[in-house]
């Protein structure tokens, strides 16, 4: 049996951070990211054709631990989830939540080195106190600007020391309690300290979005659109017109998982069975295919394996 050993098919490794930086440098490109929380939702996003993904911290807390987004997820849990998602397709960069950096400057450095080792393209670090909460909840406690800049400088130094690039996104949650001017001041200071992208969380109006992006230019700005949150939902074209370079829809998959699974489980509980979906969509064949069973079979065949010989459906 012939085995394929064609080095012409070998694709040289390109770090995810390099790919993401190319997207950020393209003046015509808007980086639109669906929020994914596990391998399955990431596979669905890849199948839909997205070229950048966002690993949501809230979704990681909910899916990995069944807990709310209240600084309960540890660094190994968050990084492990981000690295697994980043490994599904090395050509699709993953932006990942890193909360407050998980502690002191040394913890921030450890997080940056670990994320970069896992080929995560970017991470964002916020200025909330260590016991943080979701950015679209009220009464968030903040650290001082000086303490926040220690986190950003630690991230930048760790990136340089480890010799692996990763895009550093500075997030501020200060708008709610300190106002727009202070939020902009914090992000400008974070950029001067080494951050690449500005992320002003909790913008409440389109006019506020526009003012923030204009004030922060030419720093690339990130817009976070959370279902049920305080930021207005805008489409990709409008987000770009407002001045943003990256747009996250962080809990989109979490929302649809909640709504759809809840409906199906209620139907099963009430009726003892569930109605098949139109056209049989979502059966085991669809699920295995989106998870890459055809690619797995092709790989096994190429190396002379017989694990998946004879078909599987």
Is 224 tagged catalytic? yes
The helix (run of H) or strand (run of E) holding residue 249 is: strand 246-249
Active-site annotation holds for 281: no
Among 33, 43, 54, 115, which one carries the catalytic annotation? 54
Residues with Cβ within 8 Å of residue 13, at least 6 apart in sequence: 90
Catalytic one of 43, 110, 124, 191? 124
Name the catalytic one among 43, 110, 136, 171: 171
* 275 included as an active-site residue: no
Q: Which of 126, 127, 156, 173 is catalytic?
A: 126
Is residue 162 within 8 Å of residue 112, measured between CB atoms? yes
Q: 162 an active-site residue?
A: no
**Which candidate in 21, 43, 97, 115 is catalytic?**
97
Active site residue 126: yes
Catalytic residue among 115, 151, 191, 224: 224
The catalytic residue among 21, 33, 69, 127 is 69
* Annotated catalytic residue within 38, 43, 81, 99: 99
Tokens of 85: 């998602």
Q: Is 201 a catalytic residue?
A: yes
Q: Is 6 a catalytic residue?
A: no
21 labelled catalytic = no
Q: For residue 276, with 0-12 CB atoms within 10 Å meaning exposed, 13-18 middle and 19 or more buried, which class applies?
A: exposed
For this structure, is 28 an active site residue? no
Q: Is 77 a catalytic residue?
A: no
Catalytic machinery residues: 54, 69, 97, 99, 124, 126, 134, 171, 201, 224
């Amino acid at each position: 049996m012939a085995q394929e050993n064609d080095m012409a098919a070998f694709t040289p490794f390109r770090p995810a951070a390099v790919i993401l930086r190319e997207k950020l440098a393209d003046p015509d490109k808007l980086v639109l990211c669906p929020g994914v929380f596990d391998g399955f939702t990431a596979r669905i996003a890849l199948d839909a054709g997205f070229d950048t993904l966002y690993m949501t911290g809230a979704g990681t807390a909910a899916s990995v631990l069944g807990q709310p987004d209240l600084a309960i997820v540890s660094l190994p849990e968050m990084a492990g989830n981000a690295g697994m998602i980043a490994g599904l397709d090395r050509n699709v960069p993953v932006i990942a939540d890193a909360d407050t950096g998980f502690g002191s400057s040394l913890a921030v450095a450890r997080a940056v080195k670990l994320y970069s080792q896992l080929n995560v393209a970017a991470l964002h670090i916020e200025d909330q106190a260590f016991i943080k909460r979701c950015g679209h909840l009220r009464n968030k406690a903040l650290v001082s600007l000086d303490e926040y800049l220690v986190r950003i400088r630690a991230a930048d130094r760790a990136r340089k020391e480890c010799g692996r690039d990763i895009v550093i996104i500075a997030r501020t949650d200060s708008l709610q309690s300190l106002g727009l001017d202070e939020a902009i001041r914090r992000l400008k200071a974070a950029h001067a300290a080494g951050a690449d992208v500005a992320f002003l969380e909790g913008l409440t109006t389109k006019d506020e979005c526009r003012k923030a992006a204009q004030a922060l230019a030419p720093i690339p700005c990130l817009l976070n659109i959370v279902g049920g949150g305080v930021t207005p939902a805008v489409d990709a074209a409008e987000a770009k017109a407002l001045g943003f370079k990256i747009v996250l829809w962080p809990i989109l998959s979490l929302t649809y998982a909640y709504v759809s699974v809840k409906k199906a489980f209620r139907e099963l509980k009430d009726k003892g069975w569930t109605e098949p979906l139109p056209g049989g969509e979502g059966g085991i064949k669809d699920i295995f295919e989106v998870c890459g069973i055809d690619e797995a079979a092709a790989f096994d065949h190429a190396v002379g394996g017989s694990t998946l010989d004879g078909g599987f459906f």
